[in-house]
Amino acid sequence: MAGKKREIQLQAVINNQSLWDEMLQNKGLTVIDVYQAWCGPCKAMQTLFRKLKTELNEDEILHFVVAEANSIATLQPFRDNCEPIFLFSVNGKIVTKIEGANAPLVNQKIINLINEERKIAAGEMVRPQYHEITFVDSDTEDAGEAFNENVDQLYSIAIIKPEAVITGKTIKIKEKIISAGFVIQAEDKRVLTENQVRDFYSQIADEPDFEDFVTLMTTGISYILVVSQDNKQEPPCEETVSNPENKEPKETSEDQHEMATPTVMRKKWDSLQEYLERQNISQFCDVEENTTNVNKFIDIFFPDFKSISKLEKTLALLRPDLFQEKKEDVFNIIQDEGFKILMQREIVLSEEEAKTLCKEYENEDYFGNLIENMTSGPSLALVLLRENGLQHWKELIGPSTVEEAKERLLESLCIQFATKSFPINQLYGSDSLEAAEMEIQYFFPPQNTLALIKPHATHEQREEIFSIIKEAGFDITQMKEILLTKEQADKIYFKITNKDFYKDVLEILSEGPSVVMILTKWNAVSEWRRLMGPTDPEEAKLLSPDSIRAKFGITVLKNCVHGSSNIQEAMETINRIFEEFVPENSEEH
Ligand SMILES: Nc1ncnc2c1ncn2[C@@H]1O[C@H](COP(=O)(O)OP(=O)(O)OP(=O)(O)O)[C@@H](O)[C@H]1O
């Protein structure tokens, strides 16, 4: 069989360089599943490929192949890669790659590229100038950067139209988007210019009432969202629809209530457009998913977006001696180098943790002393953020041992902060983006809290609170707008239902819909309480003038927001209000 191209079910097997070169002659899109001989092609994705093959029905321009990394010279950089890799070749050029069996991402990429091919074939679009990607060996020093190139996040642009904004549907639409596992990466509200409308809606420019449509779109505020698939969250496989009969959206309050129920889930691999259509809300929100157009509109609406999305997080650690003696010096350097400290935490490492962190030195004479030193007092763990942050921190701190730094990097922080008794770099930085993610999860495990924006908060105040939440680094993991009946309110305020003032709390809550959210980040419960400020807005104004209650609270009852008091209460209320929610964090299972 070696050297022969063989059709197995839907994927051709490429197992030598000449078959690879031959494959590059394919017209249209070829999806290449790069596999390792020892583990075989990715079985989990076969179902997706089969589905797409049938649904798209494009035998001439859609091909699937499996290629064995070790036997093809071009694929050498991927040898021994543990994760599956999917390459996308268009007319013989590898235009992009996705690491990991991320079905929604792969699905969307294929649909986008095939849609482009169809448009090109129909003369509706000129073939873009593809930038062919280069493969970098994951063992090389550039691994961090290479990984960054590989993270092929797929974005969509969604425009919530003025008629939806003015009739108060914005939050409900955003709530649906978030509940389905999409992530709103950026948003802006503005009155679109005529040119922007014409550009975004160029495909319907020939329709007879287009000019009226342009007028409508330019006479009120629209919301523009950049939405991505949440890579971490697999949407549920099966669709559960709370009320399948209700196909026609209505403008009534009943409709609003229907839209607020979060029980309609995204089908596996739905695109944002498909999802909104199935939710009967696509008439309020238009979506652009074509990669080329999305990039263009991101540049127009969010010119800083790309530089922001290049920001990298890394874990940094100041070992005990350095933390005690020179913390300020290190902080000054961190600031001067343009890093933002996202989180920081003092931690006394257990022996086991120190041994895991210092595993690379376990055969050295000094290993015992090293572990003793590492466990002797608090270390400081930091999460740093900066463009190219991971690599930059590694370069700053230098090699992991003083001996090595003396040989080749005298200007490194390793030398600057070296002590006679300690042969190891007093500073640590993650080795790769994957390692950084795991280490950050370890040192800063995410926690969930339940947050509420009370009905009296105005639309503008709500928006400002969302900005404060984002700015503070929370993820809004779930969100719904609901009228809190007594039954619902009891689930949140179960600890105060016997208080005299509880009837007043219920009255305040009955004045209109509240926004209920699950906020997620390290230390979420106390962080959210800190952002809220003291219960009484008057006290908040004195003690915490920047807090939400100081800014927007009116009275103790109308204090704008609520948050769980402790982790236990957060877990209980989240379970009661978001019954379908399964926390990712083991601490909360
Ligand atoms: N003495 C009071 N009189 C009137 N309303 C009160 C009083 N104490 C609390 N409340 C209202 O009840 C809500 C819940 O009370 P709780 O004792 O749980 O307050 P909290 O933990 O300080 O704040 P929250 O739980 O809202 O974050 C408060 O946010 C406030 O609106």
Q: How do residues 532-589 score in pLDDT, each as one tens digit?
A: 999 999 999 999 999 999 999 999 999 999 999 999 999 999 999 987 666 655 444 4
Beta 29-35 vs 62-68: how paired, if at all? parallel
Cβ-based neighbours of 96, under 8 Å, separated by 6 or more = 87, 88, 109, 133, 152
CB of residue 573 inside a 6 A radius of ligand 1: no
Q: How far apart are CA 28 and CA 10, in angstroms?
A: 16
ipTM greater than cut 0.90: yes
CB of residue 221 inside a 6 A radius of ligand 1: no
Mutation choice for ligand 1 from 498, 509, 556, CB with most ligand atoms inside 8 A:
556
Q: How far apart are CA 6 and CA 4, in angstroms?
A: 6
Q: State which ligand 1 atom lies nearest to the alpha carbon of 502.
A: 12
Q: Report pLDDT for 129.
A: 64
Q: How far apart are CA 428 and CA 394, in angstroms?
A: 8
Q: Report pLDDT for 184.
A: 85
Q: How far apart are CA 208 and CA 118, in angstroms?
A: 25
Cβ-based neighbours of 118, under 8 Å, separated by 6 or more = 58, 61
Which strand (E) or helix (H) includes residue 135?
A: none
Amino acid (one-letter) located at 156: S
Mean pLDDT for back-to-back runs of 10 residues, the chain (589 residues): 44 87 91 85 81 86 90 83 85 84 81 85 75 59 34 78 88 85 85 92 88 91 87 40 35 34 47 86 90 88 78 91 91 92 91 85 84 90 92 90 85 88 88 86 91 94 91 86 93 94 96 93 94 96 95 96 95 87 53
Q: Distances in Å between the alpha carbon of 206 and those of 125, 160, 218, 398, 444?
A: 16, 22, 18, 60, 54
The question of whether 562 is a catalytic residue gets the answer yes
Strand partners, 183: 228
Same fold, 6-150 and 155-243+252-308: no
Q: What is the CATH number of domain 155-243+252-308?
A: 3.30.70.141
Alpha helices, H only, 69-142: 103-121
Q: Report pLDDT for 536.
A: 96
Query: For residue 494, how far is its CA from the centre of ligand 1 (angstroms)?
Result: 12
Query: Ligand 1: which residue has its CA nearest to atom 22?
Result: 535
Q: CATH number of 6-150: 3.30.70.120, 3.30.565.10, 3.40.30.10, 3.20.20.70?
A: 3.40.30.10
pLDDT single digits (tens) 147-160: 333 334 678 999 99
In 10 A of CB 305, how many CB atoms?
A: 16
Beta 62-68 vs 11-14: how paired, if at all? parallel
Q: Report pLDDT for 269.
A: 54
Q: Report pLDDT for 388.
A: 85
Quickly list DSSP for 213-260. HHHHHTSS-EEEEEEEE-SS-PPPSS---S-TT--S--SSHHHHHHHH
CB of residue 501 inside a 6 A radius of ligand 1: yes
Query: For residue 557, how far is its CA from the centre of ligand 1 (angstroms)?
Result: 7
Top CATH class of 446-588 equals alpha beta
- Report yes or no: 492 and 577 within 8 Å, Cβ to Cβ: yes
Q: Report pLDDT for 583.
A: 64
Q: CATH number of 310-443: 3.90.1150.10, 3.40.309.10, 3.30.70.141, 3.40.50.1370?
A: 3.30.70.141
Catalytic residue among 131, 257, 562, 589: 562
Spans of all domains in the chain: 6-150, 155-243+252-308, 310-443, 446-588
CB of residue 565 inside a 6 A radius of ligand 1: yes
Cβ-based neighbours of 512, under 8 Å, separated by 6 or more = 455, 456, 483
What pTM value is reported for the model?
A: 0.60
Q: Report pLDDT for 477.
A: 85
For residue 239, what are its two tokens? 């669709």
CB of residue 505 inside a 6 A radius of ligand 1: yes
Mutual angle of helices 320-336 and 367-374, in 10-degree steps = 70
Q: Report pLDDT for 127.
A: 75
Q: How far apart are CA 364 and CA 430, in angstroms?
A: 21
Q: How far apart are CA 162 and CA 170, in angstroms?
A: 10
In 10 A of CB 547, how many CB atoms?
A: 22
Q: State which ligand 1 atom lies nearest to the alpha carbon of 565.
A: 21
Edge-to-edge strand ranges of the sheet holding 340-347: 340-347, 379-387, 311-318, 427-429
CB of residue 151 inside a 6 A radius of ligand 1: no
Q: State which ligand 1 atom lies nearest to the alpha carbon of 535.
A: 22
